[in-house]
Amino acid sequence: MKLLLENWRKFLKEEDVIPADIYEEILAVFDFDETIADTHAKTVVRVKISGDPVRRLSQAQLDTEKPGEGEEFDFSEFDDVGDAEEKKNITNKMKEFIKDPNSQVMVVTSRATKAEDAIHSYLNFLEIDTSSLIIKGLAGQSKGDYIANIVSKNPSIKKVEFYDDSKKNVEDVEEKLNNLIKDTGRELFINAVQVLEE
């Protein structure tokens, strides 16, 4: 019984279930915040002991800053997508990939998994076909590791299109996919694009 519970806990901890049933040649991956939509959500730096807010960080600031001594990051502003404003240039590109039968489209966000349903509802509100869309919240984990794992488990993928406002995430994805190419000799085209503010 103890072994069964330990295995179940391990299964539950493995939040990053990697899709291994992608048969399309193109994997198109979009970030949500400040890529698909301007959400105005920020990371709040708080005092650990009191929980008092110290400052709010944009994505660019978060890419380069670590919490100071006695501080912690609070990502709770990212739990809801209520005031999101669509970035049509990106959602139009997303719609093109969705229409392409040779493309699998994903939304991979640094938000927690509990935001996946809200993102799904928001995309439905925008009348984006979500029937074959995969939405994954990584709760701040490496997008590069996650996408490289998907590519390694799906040999049909020949091209990765990645769109994110974070330069750090773009570089992470490029690095991890280039390492995969180097380690396996696999042929893979990578187009990782930093989405700049309009």
Phi, psi of 80 (to 5 degrees): -130, 155
Contacts of 60 (CB under 8 A, 6+ apart): 166, 167
Least Cα distance to 182 among 143, 146, 152 occurs for: 152
pLDDT of res. 198: 63
The Cα 111–Cα 77 span in angstroms is 10
pTM of the model: 0.82
Within the chain, which residue ranges are assigned CATH 3.40.50?
Answer: 14-39+83-194
Q: Residue 46 and residue 68: Cα distance in Å, rounded?
A: 10
**What is the band of 59 on the pLDDT scale with cuts at 50, 70, 90?**
confident
CB 133 within 8 A of CB 22: no
- Residue 53, pLDDT above cutoff 80: yes
- Residues 126-178 have pLDDT tens digits of 999 999 999 999 888 899 999 999 999 999 999 999 999 999 999 999 999 99
- Give the Cα separation of 7 and 141 in Å (integer): 22
Does the domain at 14-39+83-194 match CATH 3.30.40? Answer given as: no
